[in-house]
Chains A and B, each alone.
Chain A
Amino acid sequence: MTLLEAILLTVITASTPLLIAAIGELVVEKSGVLNLGVEGMMIMGAACGIVAAIATGSGAAGVLAAVLAGMAMAALFAALTLGLAANQVAAGLALTIFGIGLSGVVGAAHVGAQREGIGKLEIPLLSDIPFLGPVLFGQDPFVYASFALTAGVAWFLTRTKAGLILRACGESAASAHALGYPVLRIRFLAILFGGACAGLAGAYLSLVLTPFWTSGMTAGRGWIALAIVVFASWLPWRAALGAYLFGGITILQLHAQGAGFRVPPQLMSALPYLITIVVLVAIMRLRRGGTAGPANLGTPFVPDR
């Protein structure tokens, strides 16, 4: 295995959870809801995933538990922001803090408990191709799933009527309501999808990337996923690009330090956010003000009855 190959493989594993969580949040934001609780949903996914996997001995059960945990957290967020029209920013921040705390409780009994990670899914023959084989066809199922998710969401948002309706809710909830669309129900489903994705991303952390539980193991990845959505100006394939860019930076930083380059690690871990800000400013400049974001992003909607 060459060094380049090794680097590429680690970049892929570092980027996959970012991509999965970002795609979920992208759908949520396209429906007009800003859920800052990605980090909290993700870490609950990680904790519940490994606990379930250890309890049942099945990786699949772990993944399922992680997805359900993410969705349960999302449902809580939805109850607050849709049901009670609470402030989305405050509710999202609370969700993150709550998730980090609760996950510590859930995983307390299993700190450091090792478990065999979910293996790679090697595609016969193709994975034997030198270099390209292991990189493209020797990955774990999550990697394939992340790209399937990206393609699916891109297709859904631009090509289907349901995707059009979801975007309409994000552009103008009042108009969508006036046309007879159930804005709150659509936003609820979008939030659940975002929760499922965040939970799945969490499962990747505790079941594949570092197959054991330690509290706080998401280490800010949920926040990076949020930054990626903005960086991507709400376009799915650009989110994939962003995820690999940010994933790549984290890995390169490790290799750079290993090779003796003196780059402060703090600077490197701040890079995703710095880049996001630069990209935001660049977009503002190009469009002469205004972002590409959904017009009603973060605005609660209360239909009159």
Chain B
Amino acid sequence: MPPLIEAQQIVKRFGSLVANDHVDLTVAAGEVHALLGENGAGKSTLVKMLYGLLQPDEGRILWRGEKLVLNGPRDARRAGIGMVFQHFSLFEAMTVAENVALALDGEEPLPRIAARLAEVSRAYGLPLEPRREVWQLSVGERQRIEIVRCLMQDPQLLILDEPTSVLTPQEAEGLFATLGKIRAEGRAVLYISHKLEEVRRICEAATILRGGKVVARCDPRQESAASLARMMVGTEVGSVRHDAAEPTGPVRLSVSALSMPPAEAHGVALKDISLTLHRGEILGIAGVAGNGQDELFAALSGERLAPRAESVALDGTAVGREDINARRRRGAAFVPEERLGHAAAPRFSLSENALVSGHAANGFVRGGFVERGRMLGWVDAVTKAFDVRKGPRDPEARALSGGNLQKFVVGREILRKPAVLVVAQPTWGVDAGAAQLIRQALVDLAKEGAAVLVISQDLDELLEIADRIAVIFHGRLSQAMPVQGLTREALGLLMGGSGFPADDAAPGAAAREREPA
């Protein structure tokens, strides 16, 4: 019997870049097949071609042994290929049922879709309410919509692009159970993930891409996470050197009883948040996206002022009413989550971006005039210290790849030798090599006496570099717990809300509360 799908010698070029270079991929029916590789290795390009979103320049796709030409996602769906996107392709202002209807071809009346939706979601244990609007739903629920609407097309092959990156460990368990059911029905799954432990657990075959080429095929169950990582990166990935310790130094950053209403309609209110951050310590803030991380970051950085000055203190000075520049002058530095658009202005050159965050405290401005030489010197220093790879000396920020820009925006702040560094999602969507470099830099910064606060959804990252971890949920922050003896399970439960007081909360938060852990 021929395999379910077979991609043969696929080539895809974008200008001079060869995103896929004679790639072969074979997935058998009933198989959970992992597609591994670093960012930019060509995974997304490949699956977009399998889903008809892009057309290959060379090569062919065989479906059950017969040639398959996909002119668009509709063709793929008709053939029996479904896809769950990494960045959800949902419409926020529409209901669950409408979102499902948009993914189904043909004129099926909404009430019938809603009925079928209820049926399918029950069959796979993925509860959903058809009439709710998507913006009210948690990330986990949104993903359920994507999966359910795929399953409603009765696909033979389901493509999942980094499905667990936004889920709590418990939610991920739920997903694995669903995948088990899907496989048991004889459907195949093509599973893209960075999380190697997860791949080893649920996948029975793997194709590994590097630089657009297939570099290995293996059975991940026979491999170790380290050997898989080696195949992905091509070299040994070092681990971060860090010995977690109980904090002993003086308090550098403290937040006491901070409460703030949300800044926008679907935002989260911060409720009675208290924390202390000591000299030489890394404190991790874990939590599922949308539980107040953005709001906490804005309050710490001064992008939003706290109601009372005493709510936020830097080295003992109340700064709650000071803006971000005043806090920078006191030795604090901030790296927000969104690197392009928040941490860096896309169309500004790197030197201009250095000025944007450094004009207050870096001596880039003298007598009202910008010191271009100093700015360029700064760019060079960051480039060297953080191995930022770029073509010209001073390109626009948007010309850098995600990992390199992240190295730049983190490096830009770390080189200032801040007393306090607050960083959100330091390695989000960054390849393994760059992530390791950034994490090590954070650890080293703390070792030199700074206090570092890391807000991250990546539990493995926090467990690797943090000394203590607190969990944020519905705008409340748990006690910070030392990492020694802390398990993923315990953190996962907190991230799902157990142990937090029951909530009155905003509509968004109320919706999240329905989430079974």
Decide: A179 and B92 in contact? CB cutoff 8 A.
no
Contacts of A304 in B (CB 8 A): 14, 54
Contacting residue for B53 out of A164, A167, A178, A287, CB 8 A: A178
Known: A164-B98, A180-B74. A171 touches B265 (CB 8 A): no
Known pairs A180-B52, A180-B72, A288-B264; A175 contacts B98 (CB<8 A): no
Whether the Cβ atoms of B89 and A165 lie closer than 8 Å is: no
Task: Tell me whether A174 and B264 are in contact (CB under 8 A).
Answer: no
Is A295 a contact of B93 with CB atoms below 8 Å?
Answer: yes
Picked from B77, B94, B107, B263, the residue with its CB within 8 Å of the CB of A171 is: B94
Q: Which residues of B contact A180 (CB under 8 A)?
A: 52-53, 72-74, 76-77
| Whole-angstrom CA separation of A180 from B52 in the bound complex | 8
CB atoms of A168 and B73 under 8 A apart = no
Q: Is the CB of A287 within 8 A of B89?
A: no
Among candidates B85, B94, B265, residue contacting A167 with C-beta atoms closer than 8 Å: B94
Contact code string B88-122 (vs A, CB < 8 Å = 1, else 0): 11111110001001110001000000000000000
Q: Does any Cβ of B come within 8 Å of A83's Cβ?
A: no
Question: B98–A174 contact, CB under 8 A?
Answer: no
Do B85 and A171 touch across chains, with their CB atoms under 8 A apart? no
Least CB separation from A165: chain B residue: B102
Contact B89 A179 (CB under 8 A): yes
Interface residues on A, range: 20 to 34
Tell me which of B103, B107, B264 contacts A179 (CB under 8 A).
B103
Residue among B54, B89, B101 making CB contact with A174, cutoff 8 Å: B89
> Please, which residues of chain A bring their CB within 8 A of the CB of B94?
164, 167-168, 171
Chain A residues whose CB sits within 8 angstroms of the CB of B101 once the complex forms: 161, 164
Do B72 and A288 touch (CB < 8 A)? no
**Quick one: CB contact mask for B256-271 with A, threshold 8 Å, 1 for yes?**
0000001111100000
Q: Mark A172-214, 1 if CB is under 8 A from B, else 0.
A: 1011111111000000000000000000000000000000000
Whether A289 contacts B102 in the complex (CB less than 8 A), given A171-B91, A175-B90, comes out as: no
B92 touches A295 (CB 8 A): yes
Smallest CB gap from A180: residue in B: B73
Query: Smallest Cβ distance from B44 to chain A, in angstroms?
Result: 11
A172 touches B264 (CB 8 A): no
B85:A178 contact, CB within 8 angstroms: yes
Task: Looking at the assembled complex, report how far the CB atom of A283 sits from the nearest CB atom of chain B, in whole angstroms.
Answer: 11
A164–B53 Cα distance when bound, in Å, is 21
A296: min CB distance to chain B, Å: 10
Q: Which has the most chain B C-beta neighbours within 10 Å: A161, A178, A179?
A: A179
Cβ of B79 to closest chain A Cβ, rounded Å: 13
Q: How far is the CA of A168 from the CA of B90 in the complex (A)?
A: 9
Mark B residues whose CB is within 8 Å of A.
14, 52-54, 72-74, 76-77, 85, 88-94, 98, 101-103, 107, 262-266
Rank and list the top 4 A-B pairs by shortest CB-CB distance, nearest first.
A180-B73, A175-B89, A178-B89, A171-B91
Which residues of A are interface residues toward B (Cβ below 8 A)? 161, 164-165, 167-168, 171-172, 174-181, 287-290, 294-295, 304-305
